Structure 1
Amino acid sequence: MKEDNYRDSAEVKMITNQVWKSMSLLRGILPVEHHHVYLFLLSAYYDGIIKNVHIDFSNSLCNYIFSSLESEQKYSEILNVYIPILKSIPEERLNEVLHQLTMFNNEILDRYFDEIFDDLLFRLADNQGKYSGEFLLPNEISKFVVEIADMPNWASVFNPFAGLASFATHLNKNQNYYGQEIVSSTWALGMLRLMRLHKHTQINYRVEDSIHNWPGTNNFDLIISNPPFNYKIDPYIAHYFGRKKMTAETYVICKGLESINFDGKVACIVSQGMLFRGSDDQRLRESLVEQGLIETIVSLPSGMLKHTGIPICIMILTRKKNINRTIKMIDASSFVESKGKREKRLETNRLLEHLYKFSRSKAVVEVPIEQIRKNNYNLNVQRYFVEDFRGVPLIKVVKRISGKRVGKEKTLIGKFIRTSNLKDNDVSYQLDLNEIKERELPSHSIKIENDCILISTRWKSLKPTLFEYKGEPIYIGIDLLAIRVYSENFEVNPHYLISELRSPNVLKQVSAFQNPGAITSLNRADFFAIKIALPSIEEQKAKVQGILELSEKFKILQQERNALAHGKQVKSFDEFASLKHSLGAPRQNILSNTKSLIRFFENNNSEAFLEVKKNYRSMYGNNLTEDIGQIKNDINHISSILEKGEQGLVLSNFELNVISLKEINSLLMNLNKSSQNFTLHYDKASPEETKGKAIKANLTLFEILLNNILTNASKYAFEDGNVMNLLVIELKVTEDLMILEIRNNGKPFPRNYDKGKFSAKYTTANPSKGTGLGGYDINRIASYFDNEEWELILNSEEVFPVIFKFSFPIIPMINE
């Protein structure tokens, strides 16, 4: 992540890869989050404190390391964190690690060690995902924040929620740094990092709680922070600031402004929700804006940080009121380099150079406070870059259909329309009620009994869809608007209007007005402010004539296709039906008996039964009733497959549905963790990331895919039940994608193995342990989910040699 050119050296690449691969010695020995102990040993070896010639391998190596380092001032501070980790490494393996350190090319290591060390630190963070991403800022982002804060050369800097002291790495030797990090292992690694960058002697970096131990001075030149997003702090602290509740982000802003001198600044990385959320956040924005305390806001897209997919921004605040009554807005999206679907990188040098050259551009604008006031203190940066388009505002040509609210009085069944049901097609834009199943209606549903155009307010585009009322009503929720053409001054063709609402000019306005975040949203006032081109009615009809003709042809083709598909329905095998019938009674008996056993054990707390439960846990490491419950769940899962499986696993028998990420989170959290040779760790996405989002899939097939991957790991990757065997499932959500990554630290696949061989039917890495159908079905299901480009990454990472990656397009889902 560094921007220096030392990486271009083939020698540096070679030795960095050698060191990285040698870290595999810790795989299966230490938990993944403790692998940074290798960097500790590497640093001590480089400094000449641990030397091979001095090691007495006949005695305790851990004692040798302790005695060698305890007198070294820069290592003595962090020894208490690393010695317990070193003691948990078997003597023989620690011996191997120390020997391995002597095998590297010392000449190259000496020349580039500090850079190699920082590169390894970032690799470790990348490899561990959410284990460490929360604490390690990308180098280019921390550098950019320090640069735009523009502090004096002698500045006094305070860094609450410091993580691995990323900001401190960019300070000069004359600047005084004080950082607080509450997690001792994070602090120790941060100290090690600062030692390697030769900054540990000029800073004050402590293990402290930033909320309860905030320094009492008000004379800092800069307070700089990347606080945990949406972390709730104690209500009594919030009450001090006149608020009922408060997050760490708002705390840093409010407390920071109290703690800087008159010329000081607060630089804070926050979620973009801070820019447009209502209630307390809106009142805070209004106060900051009216007092002239906000200097700069920089907008960055989602996917910039390792531990979250939500969009972020950088706020620069000052105690010295802005006499120009403007706020500098910077849209940095055009300075972000995308590396594939998952990785984004800020081009810091190019952006800084642009900011030095231009005070106004397509990326920079000075926004008067009066304009912000008119926008109800919405500080979403994109809305202030919208081009002034000459046209007619929608409020002059359409009217909202309010409909009738269902309410809570009685349960109703009807066709409830979601954003995912709307069309995003220039030719086929009519709502097809045959595609929508009836369901129980939410209480907030609005009944529509008119011809109308349906509009999504929770998607990247408006998805304008024509509904023709023919006696059957539809129901919509808060994510949709129903509008009709209504104007005293203009003639408007509905088909032309739908076409225009998909035009590039409209989409630019939609993008500018939308509030980014967990749910991309467009409020009604902004929708009706969107301007459209409105030629004469004759020109409108001429423009859409060709579209209407294509639409009719499309309908005919659809009807012919449906008729053909119906005529080719595959007959069920009688033998399978007979087998399913034969299995019916045993399945039902197992289900009935497991339910009885669960009730029996749950309701019996006698000493004898408590002893049975205790012995079971002692022998197998699992909860008895939970394992019985898993049997019940497995039988239900088998039954679900049998109901669909007359011809084997025929994917088309499993209908693709809109599945909320809340359901995906729940499924992943409840995966079978017993009867496996590994520990299953799930890094779930946050509620803010998953709210209002869904994917198109089938829950049963999704579970089959996951179980096949888990079974594959249990069979091939882990030959024993070592407590360090680890399989990590990580769910990350961006605005556009749900990214599912499954990785294990077990036995690598053979060197010449790849995704093609893994996915081939009846092909297996170990014929004695399987049929090869698991990988075949994983590939089939992923492809059925429109995920043909899923990745199988083998032997490229030393900590996790096997990594599965799947990417699912996000579908908005407000009414979960």
Structure 2
Amino acid sequence: MNKPYYNNDQVKNISNEIWHIFDYLRSSIPVEDLHVLLFLLSGYKDGLFDTLQNEYIDLNNDLINYYNRNNKYDNIAEVYSSIIRYIPRQKLSDILILFNRINQSELQEFFPEIFDSILYRISNAQGKNSGEFIQPFEISRLIMNLADLNDNATIYNPFAGLVSFATFLHPNQRYYGQEINHRTWALGSLRLMAYNQEHFDYKLEDSIENWMSFGEFDLIVSNPPFGIKIPRHFTNGANSSVEMFLIEKSLQKLPKKGQLIVILPQSFLYTSSINNKKYREYLVNNNFIDTIISLPSGLLKHTAIPVCIVIFRKTSINHNFIKFVDASEFAIKSLDKKGKILDDLRLLDYIKADYENDFVRNIDLFQIQENDYNLKVNRYLIDDDFEGIKLSEIGHFISGTRSAREKIAKFVKIKDLKDDIVNFYLDTNTIDYKEIPSNNVRKIEQDCLLVAVRWKTLKPTYFKYQGEAIYISNDIFAIKIDENRVNINYLINELSSDYVNKQLDRYRIASVIPMIRKVDLFNLKIELPSLEEQNKKYYFQAEKYLSTRAEEFNTVYKEQEINVNDENSFLRHQIAGSLKNVRGAFNFVKRILEEQVRPQIPELDNLKANVKLETTFSNYMNIIERDLISINKAVNKAGDKIDLLDLNIEYFDLLLFIKEYAESLKIRAKNLFTVTLDLDENAIKEYGISGILIHGDKDIIRKMFDNIIENAEKHAFTNSINSGNKIKIELLYDFEDDNVQIDISNTGNPLPESMTHDSLTRKGSSSGKNSGDGVGIWFVNEVMKIHKGKFGYTDETGPEGIDGEYVTTMELTFPIIQAL
């Protein structure tokens, strides 16, 4: 099944026409109601408005009555009537006129493609926190291609959502779907109508309470809501998750050749809770699992949780093995640069190949049993047969002492650990005294190796106990090393090596925060030559490391110097505003003195602070005026170089910083623009993260933000007071690559069509009627380099384009550190 994507020219042209109507409508109704446009479009396509008179006094109610009297639409009209009722009459009339300009025969011919094209665009414009979640097209296509159904197949789709799977079915196939949310069900029903599949059985009901137990299904397919606990009376008295409920119920009703294909959180594959582990053991030992596909992160717009596709069969065709598929390399950037798209057709070729390859392996059930029923895909797809001894042979876990716990003490967090094979000792002088939590901490009072078990590097750091204890949380392990067998410096170097990192990739659990379990950590193999050879290898690596660091420092230093021509712009940005205020204030003071004070005090110019001094009031005024002029000239004059490396670098809470900045921006905005903030805090809390830290200079980052906002004010926004001027600050997390993208978008005029990334970031570049005033975007680019990040932008005039009201987005990507 290789259903083409919506790139037909006629589809594009009609979709663009409809999108202009969307632009016209969205200022009148809430963003979550925008899918009413598809309801109106469907009615127009079916000729419901052919006899509607625009001059009717009550157009809104007349339109609603047309839908209510139509057998095709009457069951969903209730959902959309309340929205239509509040659309301004004139706008509704204009929308119908705009519809009439669309070629109705072409609309009818390509309506499924046009409907979905608009649906996906609305979903993108609404963002992740509003509107209806629509499953990515490529994931639906992959699953239905894997199902490989015959023309008379029967399909059951619990938790059906917007019926994405049904859009791939043939008219002769039988479909049964359920959705509990009324609005989602209405839009899903509308989508089935668009595909001429309204004969499918798609009900507004709860899949848990009304599980379809009649007959057998050739395919049960679902993307269930994650993390829902099922009430005991639905699960024979046992606690269960929605995932277990779905699998158990489905296996009961699958025929021998039937399949269950379900999208699950990857944590289902490895979570160590007793219930989950026992259930995996049951599924593996009964050979119910046919295939596991680990998908790339960032595919789903509504969540950052890593997901997988699991295929279950009552009787597996894969005798005594499970097919493991690593699809992490099958992702491409989406056009809007804010997400990823699954390269599903290329992946399908690898999955259906008759041979194993770099991405697909058939793993014997006995090997899975040996791995304690851990089904994490990476665990089985790394080939290297590593040499060495296990970490457990040269070190053991320290559980901590049981001596009296202090209320205030030095509490070590992951950010305090080192990532340096030369400077690897914990510097307790930099650790702050903090209030110690009442649980999940361990007190350490002996020499030991500290390693981070969350995120992507162990950050091995040696703690030398000198009489003062430290406390560590559960995301740091303390290990007592047998220093008679291994040198600490050598061990730390090996724990940072490529061959150990490959082992970590095998064992690490790919949750929102990657982590490694204790048992897997101590299974890491370390090459262990003689102590003499250890010393030789370490000093060779250390010398090489220091040489590389020196070269990197020199390169960065040269890149970050701002040349003479740019100081003019930099200094103006720093002090020009204040200087302008001071000069203006001085001129008014001078005018008041000349016009109002001097007539009353003729001797004003000759007044002195002290009779013994020679300098008069007039002299002081002349000095102030002279120096203000001199400073003003200096600001506009080339001088020595300014070094941006002279920064106050610190760890700080990004979310708190952004919130404070947004609040100050709202005050500054007055009536010029509105400010919207989307931090997506739910994404970082799903796995116990309390915040996001970045390593940088808050002042210079704030100046960088100011620069972007000022560019929007000067170049994008044309009116001094305009309710249509909007700024949005949005955070997008990529926990796989440990970074956050800060998007600062505006609704003003787009960038010039000729603008490129190079021209935008080139020093001295300028454009627009206000060009040359302030610091260019090159400054933003330089600041991002300093912070080991990157700068990018998306604009509606570029090849990617932007759907929705925000026409230009500046994208700032920072490396992040978790805060627990």
Which range, TM-score by smaller chain? 0.7 to 0.9
SS of the equivalent of 1:29 reads coil
Q: Which residue of 2 aligns with 1:514?
A: 508
Any idea what SS the aligned residue of 2:329 has?
helix
The count of corresponding residues between Structure 1 and Structure 2 is: 720
Shift of 1:693: 6.0
One of 324, 332, 336 as aligned partner of 1:337 = 332
| Deviation readout 1:413-436 (Å, 9 max, x if unpaired) | 22x333223333455544444554
Q: For residues 704 and 73 of structure 2, what CA distance do their matches in structure 1 show? A: 47
Deviation of residue 522 (structure 1)? 0.8
Cα distance change of structure 1 residues 660 and 380 upon mapping to structure 2, 3 Å threshold: farther
Q: 1:358 to 1:536 in 2, by over 3 A?
A: farther
Cα shift at 1:328: 2.2
Alignment partner, residue 101 of structure 2 = 103
Task: Say which of 783, 806, 812 aligns to 1:801.
Answer: 806
Compared CA separation, residues 700 and 31, structure 1 to 2 (3 A): farther
Code of the residue aligned with 1:210 in structure 2: it is S
The alpha-carbon deviation at position 799 of structure 1 amounts to 2.9
> In the TM superposition, what whole-angstrom CA distance separates every residue of 1:526-582 from its partner, at most 9, and x where no partner exists?
12212233445454433332333466789999999xxxxxxxxxxxx9xx9xxxxxx
- Cα contact 2:781–2:791 (8 A) shared by 1: no
Q: 1:42 to 1:729 in 2, by over 3 A?
A: same
The one-letter amino acid paired with 2:284 is: V
1:4 is matched with: 4
Q: 1:71 to 1:238 in 2, by over 3 A?
A: closer
Q: Note if 1:400 corresponds to 2:396.
A: yes
SS of residue matched to 1:137: coil
Match of 1:610 in 2: none
Q: Show structure 1 runs of 5+ residues with no match.
A: 561-572, 577-649
**Residues 184-583 of structure 1 aligned to structure 2 (within 5 Å):** 184-201=182-199, 203-217=200-214, 219-233=216-230, 235-237=231-233, 240-243=236-239, 246-279=240-273, 280-320=275-315, 324-339=319-334, 342-395=338-391, 397-400=393-396, 402=398, 404-405=400-401, 409-414=405-410, 416-425=411-420, 428-443=423-438, 444-448=440-444, 450-468=446-464, 474-483=470-479, 485-486=481-482, 491-549=485-543
Structure 2 match to 1:41: 40
C-alpha distance in structure 1 between counterparts of 2:792 and 2:198, whole Å: 43
State the alpha-carbon separation in 1 of the partners of residues 661 and 304 from structure 2. Answer: 18
1:168 to 150, 166, 169: 166
For 2:258, what is the secondary structure of its paired residue?
Answer: strand
Question: Structure 1 pair 92/679, CA: closer, same or farther in 2 (3 Å)?
Answer: farther
Post-superposition shift, 1:664?
A: 7.6
Q: Secondary structure at the match of 1:337?
A: strand
Instruction: Compare CA radii of gyration and give the structure with the larger one.
Output: 2
Cα gap change, 1:552 to 1:319, in 2 (>3 Å): closer
- 1:427, 1:550 within 8 Å by CA — same for their partners in 2? no
Amino acid at match of 1:800: E
Cα shift readout 1:572-603 (whole Å, capped 9, x = no counterpart): x9xx9xxxxxxxxxxxxxxxxxxxxxxxxxxx
Paired letter, 1:374 = E
User: Partners of 2:469 and 2:543 in 1: how far apart?
Assistant: 27
- Residue 600 of structure 1 is matched in structure 2 by none
- 1:673–1:680 contact (8 Å) kept in structure 2: no
Indicate conservation of the 8 Å contact 1:180/1:207, yes or no. Answer: yes
1:742–1:26 CA distance, 2 compared to 1 (3 A): farther
| Deviation at residue 313 of structure 1 after TM alignment | 0.8
CA distance in structure 2 between the aligned counterparts of 1:807 and 1:559, rounded to whole angstroms = 21
**Pick aligned residue for 1:119 from 110, 113, 117:** 117
RMSD: 4.7
**Deviation of the 1:789 alpha carbon:** 0.8
Residue deviations 1:689-714, cap 9 Å, x none?
56266331579768999899999999
Aligned to 1:75: 73
* 1:620-678 deviation per Cα after TM superposition (whole angstroms, max 9, x unaligned): xxxxxxxxxxxxxxxxxxxxxxxxxxxxxx997865315386x6898799999998886
Q: 1:679, 1:724 within 8 Å by CA — same for their partners in 2?
A: no
CA distance in 1 between counterparts of 2:175 and 2:18 reads 31
Residues 699-743 of structure 1, C-alpha deviations (whole Å, 9 max, x = no match) = 976899989999999996999898999968565453323344465
Matched-pair contact (CA < 8 Å) for 2:486–2:531: yes
Residue-by-residue CA offset, 1:365-402 (whole Å, 9 max, x unaligned): 22233322222221111111232414123236521352
* Counterpart contact for 2:350–2:360, Cα < 8 Å: no
Structure 2 unmatched ranges of 5 or more:
555-574, 579-643
Using structure 1 for the length normalisation, give the TM-score. 0.75
Give CA deviations for 1:237-256 in whole Å, capped at 9, x if unaligned.
4653511xx43333322333
In the alignment, which residue of structure 2 is the partner of 1:136?
A: 134
TM-score by length of 2: 0.75
Q: Is the 8 A contact 1:169 1:197 kept in 2?
A: yes
One-letter amino acid of the structure 2 residue matched with residue 194 of structure 1: L
CA, structure 1 residues 679+98, in 2 after alignment: closer, same or farther (shift >3 Å)?
farther
2:153 maps to which residue?
155
- Of residues 141-150 and 650-659 in structure 1, the stretch that sits farther from structure 2 once superposed is 650-659
Structure 1 position 466, deviation (Å): 4.2
Instruction: Return the alpha-carbon distance in structure 2 between the equivalents of residues 224 and 238 of structure 1.
Output: 20
Deviations 1:32-57 (A, max 9, x none): 11111222222333333334x86433
Q: Report the Cα distance in structure 1 between the residues aligned to 2:646 and 2:61, rounded to whole angstroms.
A: 63
Residue 580 of structure 1 is matched in structure 2 by: none
Does the Cα contact within 8 Å between 2:449 and 2:461 map onto a contact in 1?
Answer: yes
Distance in 2 of aligned mates of 1:525 and 1:263: 38
| Contact 2:651 2:696 survives alignment (8 Å) | yes
- Provide closer, same or farther for how the CA distance between residues 737 and 212 of structure 1 changes in structure 2, counting only shifts above 3 A: farther
Distance 2:246 2:713 in 1: 46
Instruction: Confirm or deny: 8 A CA contact 2:177 2:202 kept in the other structure.
Output: yes
Are 2:77 and 1:86 aligned? no
Residue pair 1:302, 1:311 contacting (<8 A) in 2 also: yes
1:688 aligns with: 686
Is residue 2:791 matched to residue 1:789?
yes
Q: In structure 2, what is the equivalent of residue 621 of structure 1?
A: none
Contact kept in structure 2, 1:519 and 1:692, CA below 8 Å: no
Moved more, 456-465 or 161-170: 456-465
1:324 to 1:692, Cα distance in 2 relative to 1, 3 A: farther
| Aligned equivalents of 2:727, 2:76: Cα separation in 1 | 27
| Structure 2 residue identity aligned to 1:192 | L
Please give the alpha-carbon distance, in whole angstroms, between the structure 2 residues aligned to 1:447 and 1:439. 14
Which amino acid counterpart does residue 735 of structure 2 have in structure 1? T
